[in-house]
Amino acid sequence: MKKLLLGGGVLALLAVTVSLSQSRTAADPTVADPNGLRVESEGKNPWTTLKLNAAADQFQFAVVSDRTGGHREKVFSRAVSQVNLLQPQFVMSVGDLIEGYTTKEEVITEEWDQFDGYVRKLEMPFFYVAGNHDLTNKMQVQKWGERYGRKYYHFTYKNCLFLSLCSENPPDFVSGIDPEQRDYVRKTLAATAGVRWTFVFLHKPIWTAKDLDKNGWGDVEQALAGRKYTVFCGHVHRYQKFVRNGNNYYQLATTGGGSRLRGTEYGEFDHVAWVTMKPGAPLIANVLLDGILPEDLTLPETEEPGTKRKLLPTYPVTGRITLEDKPVPGATVSLYRLNAETKKFVDVCDGLTDEAGGFKLSTYGRFDGCPAGEFVVTVVKTGKGYYDGETKEKSTIPEKYATPGKSELKVLVREGANEMYLNLTAK
């Protein structure tokens, strides 16, 4: 029997083997590796390679995103069971774990007790990150300290650095990395200069702000310069990938938080980020919760309640956008209402146009329409699909349609079905 030589050396890769026969003889020895994988190799074999995807320094972890901000019932609590099915080494987070935004201590205590009860069911460690819902005021900051101690921290695993930061600074609500935390980042990075990769976790995508020196992110990026790293955040409840200084920044969607759930086209879905740290670089997979099912295809029942919201009645709204009578695909159509008290425009609903310029509006859920009333309409096309206004992008159609204060487009939504046709002009 001929033996297959892999990698130019006898037994170099055949050390990963699996036994396919019931009996062996002294004249037919078996080669095995320390993992116990054995194979009976001949001149021709029914496999592609014996090089296993199992490097010694390879590992996997999961990242859960926003649970709150109008959380939906039974999503996060079931996600715990779904993550247990995946069996990562540990689970990271990006904040907004409780609803918060109250000065009632008993409410905050109850919300943290509930959340802690969920994550205690994980079969692996869970690492907390604070969001604005978690640290809304001084009382909530105190409660965090009593339960979890530090608001920012780090650890290393298999020569990778995990740096969890806090983007929240109540009671002034200035999002950013405070001076003390910036100093901590600099010292931590200096002390871990030899790691092969750095992962950074925080709640808000503060790199989208105008003044990065003021909010501290400029200092963080300066300290990170020269090393390989990946950043994860949440807050916006919409998936988006940024590339800064040659490194990937991931803004995750939701793991139960408020969402219209319009799908991947809008970046609105419930998921966990599944990270495989390879010998060279991490590999990111977005695993949608809808696709994680146990062997009996039935998720466990839970008692996690959802946020009760007062919702206005909505009515179906469809329409079509053209520019000089030509369809405008890939544009975001938004309806705004002027707040009489603040004198500011409020985004009520929006939709993305298809190849024919057609769209459907959504307010609370997937294509549920719009409340009745008069609205100002904006139309923005950036070439990147759905535009949520979080980062300023130049529109490829006339700028006069990009902001509610300048747009001359106005519509009236009535009870019942509504259909609108808006023809934009180039001048």
Print the domain residue range for 33: 1-52
DSSP element (H, E) containing 321: strand 317-323
Considering the domain architecture, whether residues 247 and 340 belong to the same structural domain is answered as no
296 in a domain, yes or no?
no
pTM: 0.91
Cα→Cα distances 341→288, 337, 344, 348, 370, Å: 40, 12, 8, 16, 21
Considering the domain architecture, whether residues 329 and 186 belong to the same structural domain is answered as no
Contact indicator for 115, 143 with CB cutoff of 8 Å: no
Considering the domain architecture, whether residues 39 and 95 belong to the same structural domain is answered as no
305 in a domain, yes or no?
no
310 in a domain, yes or no?
no
Q: What is the CATH number of the domain that holds 247?
A: 3.60.21.10
Structurally, the chain folds into a number of domains equal to 3
Q: What is the pLDDT of residues 135-161, one digit of tens each?
A: 999 999 999 999 999 999 999 999 999
Considering the domain architecture, whether residues 127 and 171 belong to the same structural domain is answered as yes
Contact indicator for 211, 200 with CB cutoff of 8 Å: no
Considering the domain architecture, whether residues 238 and 328 belong to the same structural domain is answered as no
Considering the domain architecture, whether residues 88 and 230 belong to the same structural domain is answered as yes
> Residue 21: what pLDDT?
36
d(CA 62, CA 285): 10
Residue 24 has pLDDT above 60, yes or no: no
Q: What is the pLDDT of residues 360-418, one digit of tens each?
A: 999 999 999 999 999 999 999 999 999 998 888 899 999 999 999 999 999 999 999 99
Structural tokens at position 341 = 């008290």
Q: What is the CATH number of the domain that holds 397?
A: 2.60.40.1120
Beta pairing, strands 271-277 & 153-157:
unpaired
Residue 33 has pLDDT above 80, yes or no: no
> Residue 35: what pLDDT?
58
Q: Which residues of 280-292 are buried (b: 16+ CB within 10 A; e: fewer)?
A: eebeeeeeebeeb
Q: Which residues are paired to 318 by β-bridges?
A: 360, 419
Is 146 in a helix, a strand, or coil? helix
Q: What is the pLDDT of residues 197-249, one digit of tens each?
A: 999 999 999 999 999 999 999 999 999 999 999 999 999 999 999 999 999 99
Q: How confident is the model at residue 167 (pLDDT cuts 50, 70, 90)?
A: very high
Considering the domain architecture, whether residues 261 and 362 belong to the same structural domain is answered as no
Which of 15-29, 33-47, 229-243 ranks highest by mean pLDDT? Answer: 229-243
Cα→Cα distances 236→111, 194, 404, Å: 21, 33, 21
> Residue 386: what pLDDT?
96
